Structures are given as C-alpha cells and as structure tokens.
C-alpha cells in the first residue's frame, strides 16, 4: 500500500512540512503498470496546481533547481 504526497520543495521538506496528499492508499504489486501510475500522478499534480492556484512554473526545473517532489509513503500488508 502506498500513498503519494506532493511537496513544493524537496530541500526544505521534513516530516513537519505541509504536504498535499495526491491519493488515498493504493495497492501496488509487481504486476502494476508503471505507465498507468505515472500518468495518474501527473494528472493529480496538474489538478493540485489548478485547485490550489499554484504557479505551474514550479514544475519547470530551469526556474527552480530544487523543484517539487512526490513523496511515496508505503506500508507492508500481510496477506497470510
């Protein structure tokens, strides 16, 4: 199970920094399609930028060498 969180700056990120949650918990297995996950995250980031009126230039690494990041939090689940 993973959740994805969006932070505007990885350099200033710590566990107390505000984050924007991009998803509810998602089950990812070795059979999960990485393209589908990537497309989903891109769609969610675009939505976050629109909803919170963020300047979409933060996604341009030329303007911000630090740049935003997606933090992946995972937890193991036992099926047995």
Q: How far apart are CA 80 and CA 78, in angstroms?
A: 6
> 70 with 41: CB under 8 angstroms?
yes
Predicted TM-score of the model (pTM): 0.77
Computed over every residue of the chain, the mean pLDDT equals 84
Q: Which two tokens stand for residue 61?
A: 């690494």
41-62: average pLDDT: 80
pLDDT, average across residues 28-38: 94
User: What is residue 24's predicted lDDT score, i.e. its pLDDT?
Assistant: 92
Contact 17, 77 (CB under 8 A): no
Domain residues of the chain, as ranges?
Answer: 2-74
């Amino acid at each position: 199970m993973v959740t994805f969180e969006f932070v505007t700056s990885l350099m200033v990120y710590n566990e107390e920094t505000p984050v924007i949650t991009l998803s509810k918990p998602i089950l990812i297995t070795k059979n999960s399609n990485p393209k589908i996950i990537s497309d989903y995250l891109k769609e969610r980031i675009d939505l976050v930028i629109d909803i919170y009126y963020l300047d979409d230039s933060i996604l341009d690494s030329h303007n911000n060498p630090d740049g935003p990041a997606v933090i992946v939090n995972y937890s193991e689940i036992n099926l047995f």
